[in-house]
Structure 1
Amino acid sequence: MKRLVLLWCFITTSAFASTLNQWQGVPFPEFSLLDQHGEVRTNKDYTGRWLIVYFYPKDKTPGCTVEAQNFTDDYQLFKSLNTEILGVSYDDVDSHKEFADLYNMPFSLLADTEATLSKKLKVDRLLPWPHASRQTFLVDPSGKIVHHFAEVTPKKHSKELLQLIKKLNQSTKKSQDS
C-alpha cells in the first residue's frame, strides 16, 4: 500500500510539474490583433524586447482594473528594462479604448474577440461566461516564452514581473561576462 501511495505521489507531482513548464522555451504563438486604437499588433512589433502578455477576463472589473493600474504605475520601470506590456481579453476595441482611456494606460490592450490567441495558449474559459482566464506569459527578446504564470494575484503581479525580469537580465549579463 505504501508503494502505491508513493507511486501515486510521484505520478501526480510529475504531471503537475510538466504542466507548469509546458510553455517554457516555446516560441510565443504568432498573432495579429487590433489594439484599443484600432491598430493591428503582431509579434514582429515586439522583437528584441521583453514582452509581458497578460490575459484577463473583462475590462473595468475590479481585479482587472487593479492589475492594469499596477502595470500603468510601473510602466516606466518596465520600459527601462526593455519590456513592453500587452493586455489581452475578449473585449472589443471600443471597450478596450474606454478602459485604457479611463485609467491612462500607456500600453496596448488587444481585442481577442474570436479567442484565437487565447485558445492557442489554452487560457480560454467558457464558464461562467466565455472569457480569457487571468494568466501571464513572459516572452524573451528572441520571442520564446521564459515563464508562464498560471495563477496571478492582481495586486502583486506587476512587482513580481519586475523582479523576475531584473533577475533574468542579471543572469544574462553574468553569462555574457563569463
Structure 2
Amino acid sequence: MEWFAIILSVVALGFMFWFFSRNTQSLKLGQSAPDFKLADQHGKTHALADFKGKWLALYFYPKDDTPGCTKQACAFRDGLQELADLGAEVIGVSVDGASSHADFAKKYHLQFPLLADTTAETAARYHSLTNLGIVKFARRNTFLIDPQGKIARMYLSASATRNSTEVANDLKRLQAA
C-alpha cells in the first residue's frame, strides 16, 4: 500500500508538471520579439530597443549555478568573441535575482548580461516559463533576434552544450543569405 501511494504521488506530480508547463501558444519566426526591460547582475537596465540594429541571442535558462545552466553559460562565454565578430550580443535571462546572477557571473567569468526576470513576465511573454504554482522557472529556450527586432530563429528545449554553436552557425547562414 505504501508503494502505491508513492507511485500515485509521482504520477500526480508528473501530471501537475505537464499541465502547468504546457505551452498552448507559440511565437513565430519573423514576428516582432516581445519587448523586455530588466536589470542585469550589475543593476543596469536592458531593453529590447537597446539592441536595434544588432543581432541578439536571448537565452532563457532555469537556474543559476546548476550543471546544465553552467554548461550553457560557459559555452556562450567561450563563444562570445565569435558571436561578437558576427555582430551579435548575448543575454541570459532567468527568474533568479540580480545578486544570484552576480555571484554566478563572477564565479564563471561571464562577460555578458544576465537579466533578473523576478516577476517571470518576460519568460512568460517568450513562452519560456514553467509555472508550477509556487515554483516558477524559465525553460531552456533561446531566441535569435535580428537587427530589426524580429525573431529569426528559435531553439526550444535548447541543448546546454551545443546552443552557442548552433546560434553562431545559424547566424553565419542567415548573414550569407
Is the Cα contact below 8 Å between 1:32 and 1:42 reproduced in 2?
Answer: yes
Match of 2:6 in 1: none
Counterpart in 1 of 2:161?
A: 155
Residue 36 of structure 1 aligns with an amino acid whose one-letter code is Q
For residues 27-68 of structure 1, what are the alpha-carbon distances to aligned partners after superposition, in whole Å with 9 as ceiling and x for unaligned?
111111000100111112111111011000000000000000
- Note if contact 2:26-2:127 (Cα within 8 Å) is conserved in structure 1: no
Give the aligned CA root-mean-square deviation in angstroms.
1.6
Q: Give the aligned length.
A: 153
Whole-angstrom CA distance in 1 between matches of 2:83 and 2:89: 7
Q: Corresponding residue for 1:11?
A: none
Aligned to 1:125: 130
Give distance in 2, aligned partners of 1:130 and 1:155.
Answer: 23
Q: Match for 1:146: what amino acid?
A: A
Work out the CA distance in 1 between the residues paired with 2:28 and 2:42: 30
The Cα of 1:91 is off from its aligned counterpart by 0.4
List 4+ stretches of structure 1 deviating above 4 A.
none
CA distance in 1, matches of 2:119, 2:132: 16
1:103 aligns with 2:108: yes
* Maintained 8 Å contact 1:125/1:132: yes
The answer to whether the aligner puts 1:165 opposite 2:171 as a matched pair is yes
Query: Would the aligned equivalents of 2:27 and 2:127 in 1 still touch at CA under 8 Å?
Result: no
1:107 & 1:24 partners in 2: Cα distance? Answer: 25
**Residue aligning to 1:56:** 61
Letter of the structure 2 residue corresponding to residue 147 of structure 1 = R
Task: Report the 3-state secondary structure (helix = DSSP H, G, I; strand = E; otherwise coil) of the residue aligned with 1:59.
Answer: coil
Query: Structure 2 unaligned runs (5+)?
Result: 1-23
Question: SS in structure 1 opposite 2:56?
Answer: strand
Normalising by structure 1, we get a TM-score of 0.82
The answer for the alignment partner of 1:39 in structure 2 is: 44
1:7 matched residue in structure 2: none
Whole-Å separation in 1 of the counterparts to 2:136 and 2:35 = 22
**Does the 8 A contact of 2:94 with 2:115 survive in 1?**
yes
- TM-score normalized by the length of structure 2: 0.83
Residue by residue, what CA displacement relative to the aligned partner does 1:56-82 show, whole Å, maximum 9, x if unpaired?
Answer: 000000000000000000101000000
Q: Is the 8 A contact 1:20 1:148 kept in 2?
A: no
